[in-house]
Every structure is written in C-alpha cells, then in structure tokens.
Amino acid sequence: MRTKTVVRATSVAAVAAAAVALSACSTGQASTPVAADTDTAAGANASVDAGGELTLDRIEKQFDTWLDTVAQGDPQAINALYREDAVLLPTLWAGVFDSPDERLAYFTDFVSKKPTGAIDESVPQLLSPTSGSLSGLYTFTMGESGQNVPARFTFVFELEDDGDVVIVDHHSSKLPD
C-alpha cells in the first residue's frame, strides 16, 4: 500500500544526463521535489494524458499492473510487459537478461514460487515526456514457503508510439542483511 510520498520530477533538459546517471548508478541530478498522492488503483493500461506524454500516475499504474501480473502467475504475460530488448537484473538469479527467452526462463522459475508483492516505498520520476522510472522497496511473499523477500528495485518505463508503456530496464536485488 502506498502513502503520500515526495517525488522528484526531472526537467526535460536533464534527460541525457539522467540516462548517463542511471547507467552509472549515480544520483547527481538536480531535481525539484513535488508532493504527489501516490495512492493508485491497480489497472491495466491507464490512458496517456492529453499531450501524449507519460505521467507519474501512469508510471505507478504500470508498475501496479506488473505486480498484479506477477501475482497471476503467467510468465508470458509478465514478459509481454517488457520491450523486446529490455534488460532485467533479477532478484533471485545472477545474470543480465536482455532477451525475451532469458526473461521468460527467469519469470517461469519466479512464478513457480507463487510470489505476491507489496510496495513498501516508491518514488516515481519523469525523465522525459516519454520515459520515466520508479525506484523503491518492495517485499515479495513466496506463497509456497511463506518466506518474505525484501528487495530494492528500479524500473525504467518508456511510452511507445502506439501509446503502450513498456519496461525497458528492471533491476531488483535483495536488501542487504
């Protein structure tokens, strides 16, 4: 369950620098705090705003769609939320997965554990009119064992020409002990 959070909307002029910062795992970008109510209902494909740009709300709804799809247990449906060349650094396996087949193998194993996820804290950011990210902490409860797996995450989303929002980069790792 989300509560009111502070989000940082990055200016469009900083998009190139933000991309470099993301790839270098650096956070040197100046940003402006904006209060936002991040309580959103899960929904499949919220509409694009009137200007055809990605919104903070849309980013959060797409993430909720991802969580719901994981809970449904269909690895192909999860994989369909990713752009074909998206990169996945998964929570439970080592490796860099940048093809649909690699991601599908991981998701097939992951959903066999019957995970359900809950967001503990999240911060959406707009990186450009058509790209954004959501970073934070979530906890997966593995239905088979009841084990809780707290993890940190970053998802990068992109608005495609057809209006769909897809995942282009996803990093998730267990929290350090």
| pTM more than 0.85 | no
Q: Which residues of 18-57 are buried (b: 16+ CB within 10 A; e: fewer)?
A: beebbeeeeeebeeeeeebebebeeeeebebeeeeebbbb
Instruction: Note the pLDDT tens digit of each residue in 87-136.
Output: 999 998 989 999 999 999 999 999 999 999 999 999 999 999 999 999 99
Q: Domains in the chain, start-ordered, CATH in brackets?
A: 55-174 (3.10.450.50)
Instruction: Note the pLDDT tens digit of each residue in 164-174.
Output: 999 999 999 99
Instruction: Count CB-CB contacts under 10 A for residue 145.
Output: 10
